[in-house]
Structure 1
Amino acid sequence: MRPTTPSAALPVDLSEARGVAVDAAEAAGALLSAGVGGPLDVRPKGTGGDVVTALDTAAEELILGRLRAAYPGHRIIAEESGVLDGAPGEEMVWLVDPLDGTNNVAIGMPVYAVGLALCARAEPVLGVVHDPVSGRTWSAVRGKGTLGPDGAPVRLPSRPRPGRRDNPVLAWTQGHQVTSDDPVAFALRTAVEKRCARMLQLWAPLVAWTMLARGDIDGIVGYLPEIVDLPAGALVAAEAGAELRRLNGGPYEMGIDRPASELGFVAARPDLLDRLLETTTRIAGPDGRFPSSC
């Protein structure tokens, strides 16, 4: 994915929308920070071991209130509430992940984030990621770059950190629907891990995306990722200089209307991308859907 500016004029001021989203994410982050040390009311979510807490729903309600007040006609897709309709024919859609890393919070591990993205005609044009643990926020407007916590532009370093050119540090992410015995996930993760110094599995993809944007890690590989948190983080990293491709090496299209099978990705600093794709394309089939023998 290469940052581009949508061809048609948008019915929203993205600078203003960035401010609304940043304020909402940071307010939700403050709510989360205040609540992580108390009773969490952890409940199962689905059958794959995922969980939800009262903090998820409280943070989401706060964000939805802010978005509805500022943009009453926009559609919203939220992690816990699902699809919330907007005005008839509305092309602007917000994606809201109020607590990315709920499983971490549930076991007392402070690795989590808040993510919001705004899409126009299914294409992400604004992404915001807030890290309540550090109190830092990153935001990106498509074609306009990424801003860091101090409001200064963020750019992925042009060179890897010492010792990491041939031994990169990578992150792995997969969707909640991926089971522990998924043969494709196992084959892909194992092959990539052999090519790096360390593979992180944070269970909070938004945190990994900000780490890539800063150059703290060198790349991310994603298999059947969750759509609700993908655009915010990916846009932040892409606008900072990371490059994204499909797992089979094809161009990466971020559109939220695409099937999950087309959302698997390799994201990395430009000089590392081809080497990672050498590994993933051996496993991915020519259409990126993977051979059944994996």
Structure 2
Amino acid sequence: MTGYAGDIELAHRLADAADAISMARFRALDLRVTAKPDLTPVSDADTSVEREIRALLAAHRPDDGLLGEEYGEQPATGPHDRRWVIDPIDGTKNFVRGVPVWATLIALLEGDRPVVGLVSAPALGRRWWGANGLGAYAGRDAASGEPIRVSGVRDLADASVCYSSLTGWEAAGRLDAVLQLMRDTWRSRAYGDFYGYMLLAEGALDVMVEPELSLWDVAALVPIVTAAGGTMTTLEGAPAPGGTASGEISAIATNGPLHTDVLSRLGRPTAR
């Protein structure tokens, strides 16, 4: 295999194992949910999925580093600066309430640059993946994948915009700018978490914006969006993901032609 094809194949194997665990616990009557120190929920599915992925990576990529949302960081031991970044269940609040919009996010970084990404949403029956030089795809599984591409919309008045909760934008001092962006576009919806970015990569919408993320929330999304022809930066215009594993990451993802306009509108906090 050339390039990242072997890593994509492994990511699918990790996702297959994760899906089997998470779907068995989705809407389970005995699902166990606790609160983490930051008061966000964690279920027994989150921890079980991450443990299984860690075990598989230890067997197949023992020299690579690993960062997971639930169990922290394990440094690389090999000569190359490669690190897998895992969110076992992105959208845990949806998961614990029985809403099917949640996914396992799997990324491979070289240094600080995400080069492989896979998003598996088994309750939706859909998976997305992409890598530098290999393009972006979506389908039920690896065998059914079809190429995906961002839209060609060039005017914000014709654009469909997706955003995260408005409270986060208010805390970031950019609520007025986000509301004006919604007013100036054709349509706005808050699909949340990974899903808006994947709809963007498929060309179903044109802009996805989010003010505060952690590395595991965004690392897998970047290779898919960019391989599909999109552009993804922080609110300051730096290449995504930026930031650190501890949080304080922001994201503007667009189809490309709209990026400069969206960035100019959201890039600076407004007075409060």
Fold shared by both chains (TM-score > 0.5): yes
Equivalent pair of 2:150/2:206 in contact (CA under 8 Å)? no
Structure-2 change in CA distance of 1:227 and 1:173 (3 Å): farther
Match of 1:252 among 239, 243, 250: 239
Q: Is the 8 A contact 1:104 1:111 kept in 2?
A: yes
* Equivalence for 1:228: 216
The CA distance in 2 between the partners of 1:45 and 1:62, in whole Å, is 20
Task: Using the TM superposition, give the Cα deviation of residue 43 of structure 1 relative to its aligned residue in structure 2, in angstroms.
Answer: 0.9
Structure 1 CA distance for aligned equivalents of residues 205 and 215 of structure 2: 22
**CA displacement, residues 10-44 of structure 1 (integer Å, 9 cap, x when unaligned):** xx952111111111112212221221121221111
Is 238-247 or 109-118 further displaced after alignment?
A: 238-247
1:166-245 correspondence to structure 2 within 5 Å? 166-173=157-164, 182=171, 184-204=173-193, 206-245=194-233
The CA deviation at 1:147 is 2.1
Residue 102 of structure 1: which of 79, 92, 95 is its match? 92
Which sections of structure 2, spanning at least 5 residues, go unmatched? none
Residue 68 (structure 1) aligned to one of 39, 58, 67: 58
- Which residue is equivalent to 1:287? none
Does the C-alpha gap of structure 1 residues 180 and 119 become closer, same or farther in structure 2, counting only changes over 3 Å? Answer: closer
Distance 1:30 1:192, change over 3 A: farther
Deviation at 1:172, TM superposition (A): 1.8
Q: Please say if 1:25 is aligned against 2:15.
A: yes
1:8 maps to none
* 2:142 pairs with 1:152: no
Change (3 A) 1:251 1:182: closer
TM-score (normalizing by structure 1): 0.80
Distance 1:188 1:232 in 2: 27
Call closer, same or farther: CA 1:45–1:16 in 2, change over 3 Å.
Answer: same
Counterpart in 2 of 1:273?
A: 259
Q: State the TM-score, normalizing by the size of structure 2.
A: 0.85
Instruction: State the percentage of identical aligned residues.
Output: 23
- AA aligned opposite 1:117: A
**For each residue in 1:53-106, what CA deviation from the matched residue of structure 2 results, as whole angstroms up to 9, or x when unmatched?**
001001111111111110011110001001123316551100001100001112
Q: Secondary structure at 2:145's aligned position in 1?
A: coil
Task: Give the Å deviation of 1:120.
Answer: 0.8
The separation in 2 between residues aligned to 1:57 and 1:260, in whole angstroms, is 20
Task: Check 1:260–1:78 CA distance in 2 against 1; reply closer, same or farther (3 A cut).
Answer: closer
| Coordinate RMSD, CA, aligned | 2.7
Distance 1:196 1:26 in 2: 38
**Matching residue's letter, 2:250:** G
**Alpha-carbon distance in structure 2 between the residues aligned to 1:100 and 1:36:** 13
Deviation at 1:167, TM superposition (A): 4.3
Q: Which consecutive aligned stretches of 4+ in structure 1 deviate over 4 angstroms post-superposition?
A: 178-181, 255-261
Tell whether the 8 Å contact from 1:142 to 1:239 is kept in structure 2 after alignment: yes
State the Cα distance separating 1:128 from its structure 2 match.
0.7
Kindly tell me: are residues 168 and 28 of structure 1, through their superposed partners in 2, closer, same or farther at Cα, counting changes over 3 Å?
same
In 1, the alpha carbon distance for the partners of 2:173 and 2:71 equals 30
Deviation at 1:173? Answer: 3.5
Count of aligned pairs: 265
**Mapped contact 1:130–1:137 kept (Cα < 8 A):** yes
- Cross-structure match for 2:250: 264
SS at match of 1:271: coil
- 1:126 matched residue in structure 2: 116
Q: Which amino acid aligns with 1:40?
A: L
